[in-house]
Amino acid sequence: MQVSAAEIAALTGGTVVGHADVQISRVDKLEEAGSQSLSFFSNPKYQDRFFQTSAALVLIPADFQAEQDFPCTVIKTPNPYYAFCQVLERYFNPNQHKTGREEASYTASSAVIDDDVYVGYGAYVDEGAVIAQGVKIYPQVYVGRNAHVGPNTILYPGVKVYADCHIGAHCIIHSGTVVGSDGFGFAPIGDGSYAKIPQIGNVVIEDHVEIGSNCTIDRATMGSTIIRKGVKLDNLIQVAHNAEIGEHTVIAAQTGVSGSTRIGKRCMVGGQVGFVGHILVADGSQIGAQSGIQKEITEPGQQWIGSPAMPLKEAFRTQVVMRKLPELQQRIIQLEKRIEELTKS
């Protein structure tokens, strides 16, 4: 595929400095680029690589002031990294161009599927499901009864979407993830065993959400488990029944969110964080890896770490004291001995 600098500038809203008709056919790192390559330069510490590159075209910051001539045609843009992502998505993402229905896939007679949909080998679309324009359903995907998948969403191999769940537009769900499995609901009974509580709700995933591999989003007992727009979930994350993840929140791998917990907007959550159930986490909270959130966070925009979690500055002070504990123990032992000697005398 040949793309001109002028086309890329139009896509990204940038300004060409050099030859607008220069053509690129691939994307590469600055140090690996060749005469047909597009690359990008965003971080000032890599400017030496920029001036030594053999790329045909480079996306650079709009405010970059060079002390020497540019080594190639450039496009100035406020956010070169984002502009590079736009180019990758438009011209070089093979997942955006798959079409047709492969053999051995099954579509129920009452399912509604747009013509412009890819359905891979062994995929199964159940009764009443609705699959919108531009959806990519990879091999071995299951879309359950009355489930809805919005426009231009990608379901990678092995994704399972249970009955009645709703997935919005422009979402990406990676292999092995299960959307809509039963919440962990059991009622204790007199003989010490547990009776299963039917989970009759669903999962609602809004637009522009990406969910990593092997995640589990449990359906609600009643109502909906909700993943708001723009949320990004890493691999191996558990979201329990009736939980809600606020818009544009990002969560790293191996985190567990217990039932009915609500995480606010634009939060940042590190890996292996555990949230107890039925709590509220304020908007903009930043939570360090392996933290245990055992109570509500009510003040927006604060940083937390530790288990049980505490404000970041308080945690740092605690760590300073912890490092001194062996020394403090020895001082206490010496003081006890001295007190004993004084008492005897």
The residues annotated as belonging to the active site are: 241
Q: For residue 229, which of 204, 261, 262 has the smallest C-alpha distance?
A: 204
Helices (H), the chain: 5-12, 47-52, 80-87, 312-323, 325-344
Please say if the pLDDT value at position 96 is more than 70. no
Q: What pLDDT score does 72 carry?
A: 95
Mean pLDDT of the chain: 94
DSSP state of 92: I
DSSP string, 227-271: E-TT-EE-SS-EE-TT-EE-TT-EE-TT-EE-TT-EE-TT-EE-T
Q: Which residues contact 38 (CB under 8 A, 6 or more apart)?
A: 3, 8, 24, 26, 27, 28, 55, 56, 57, 58, 59, 84, 87
Over 80: is that where the pLDDT of 14 sits? yes
Domains 3-92 and 100-314 share a fold: no
User: Is 241:185 a contact under the CB 8 Å cutoff?
Assistant: yes
Strands 310-311 and 303-305: antiparallel
pLDDT score for 133: 95
What whole-number distance in Å separates Cα of residue 203 and Cα of residue 179?
Answer: 7
Query: Tens of pLDDT along 98-107?
Result: 778 888 999 9
Tokens 């969910």, residue?
A: 211
Does 318 have pLDDT greater than 90? no
Q: Is the dihedral of CA 8, 11, 16, 21 positive or negative?
A: positive
Its pTM stands at 0.83
d(CA 186, CA 277): 15
pLDDT at 97 over 70: no
Cα separation, 186 vs 168, whole angstroms = 30
Q: What's the CA gap between 246 and 227, in Å, rounded? A: 7
CATH code, residues 3-92: 3.40.1390.10
Residue 125 pLDDT class (50, 70, 90 cuts): very high
Q: Which of 129, 209, 138 is closest to 163 using CA atoms?
A: 129
With vertex at residue 147, the alpha carbon angle to CA 143 and CA 187, rounded to the nearest 5 degrees, is 95
Residues sharing a CB contact under 8 Å with residue 175, sequence separation 6 or more, in sequence order: 138, 156, 157, 158, 159, 213, 214
Residue spans per domain, the chain:
3-92, 100-314
Question: Has residue 282 got a pLDDT over 70?
Answer: yes
pLDDT band at 108 (very low <50, low <70, confident <90, very high): very high
CATH for the 100-314 domain, from 2.160.10.10, 3.40.50.1370, 3.40.50.450, 3.30.450.90: 2.160.10.10
Is the model more confident about 340 or about 96? Answer: 340
Q: Is 207 in contact with 189 (CB distance < 8 Å)? A: no
Residue range 172-194: mean pLDDT, rounded:
96
Omega prior to 308 cis, within 30 of 0? yes
Distances (CA, A) of 232 to 164, 207, 250, 260, 314: 22, 11, 5, 19, 29
- Tens of pLDDT, residues 203-228: 999 999 999 999 999 999 999 999 99
pLDDT in tens, 132-181: 999 999 999 999 999 999 999 999 999 999 999 999 999 999 999 999 99
